[in-house]
Amino acid sequence: MNGHPGGEENTRRMLALAELPEGARLLDLGAGAGETLALLRGLGFRAEGLDLSPRSPLVDKGDLLHTPYPDGSFDGVLSQCAFFASGDVPGALREAHRLLRPGGKLLLSDVFFQAPEALLNGAGFSLLRAENMTAAWREYILEALWREDVPCCTIPRGRCGYWLLIGERR
């Protein structure tokens, strides 16, 4: 089972919406087992990824809240199901903002407790697109529980939604 709802289709949807040029330099924050990273490289992007507990030699070990890259290093920062798992969504957004060049794209699919527009605006991004994937995410969680797969992050409690968000760094 993939580490995020929608699997590869979700990644391809984000890429289509973000309209990143071939060869763009991308970073996957919380890259896990490296499936998305392999896909990005296969599509011609210069992609890197890091995770606290990498599950592939493709993925570097590191904390997405404190990465070693200089300011403005990336044309795109992508993250699937890892900002919420980090326990500090505002901190993750601050780091993504630092890593992106002005005009760079933020590609997220994750659990959020705040309305997407206010959340991204407050973090220095313009919201280009928001797609509500809460129904697909609920099915994903139920399927994981049914298979007795333990999702690799805590299941949130309370009124939240699962969103695909595309932002642009102001």
Ligand X SMILES: C[S@@+](CC[C@H](N)C(=O)[O-])C[C@H]1O[C@@H](n2cnc3c(N)ncnc32)[C@H](O)[C@@H]1O
Q: 12 to 31, contacts with ligand X by CB under 6 A?
A: 30-31
118's enclosing H/E stretch is helix 116-122
Question: Can you read off the two tokens belonging to residue 152?
Answer: 């690799």
Nearer to ligand X, 18 or 85 (CB): 85
Q: Residue 155 carries which DSSP code?
A: P
In the set 38, 52, 127, 128, which binds ligand X (CB under 6 A)?
A: 52
Tell me the closest approach of the beta carbon of residue 37 to ligand X, in angstroms: 9
Long-range contacts of 114-120 (CB under 8 A, 24+ apart): 116/163, 116/165, 119/89, 119/93, 120/93, 120/165, 120/167
Nearer to ligand X, 82 or 100 (CB): 82
- 97 belongs to the binding site for ligand X (CB under 6 A): no
Among the listed residues 167, 6, 11, 4, the one whose alpha carbon sits nearest the alpha carbon of residue 92:
167
Question: Residue holding tokens 């890593």?
Answer: 99
Nearer to ligand X, 80 or 116 (CB): 80
- 86 belongs to the binding site for ligand X (CB under 6 A): yes
Question: Can you read off the two tokens belonging to residue 66?
Answer: 């404190």
Tell me the closest approach of the beta carbon of residue 151 to ligand X, in angstroms: 6
- Residues lying near ligand X in the complex (CB under 6 A) are found at 2-4, 30-33, 35, 51-53, 63-65, 80-82, 85-86, 152-153
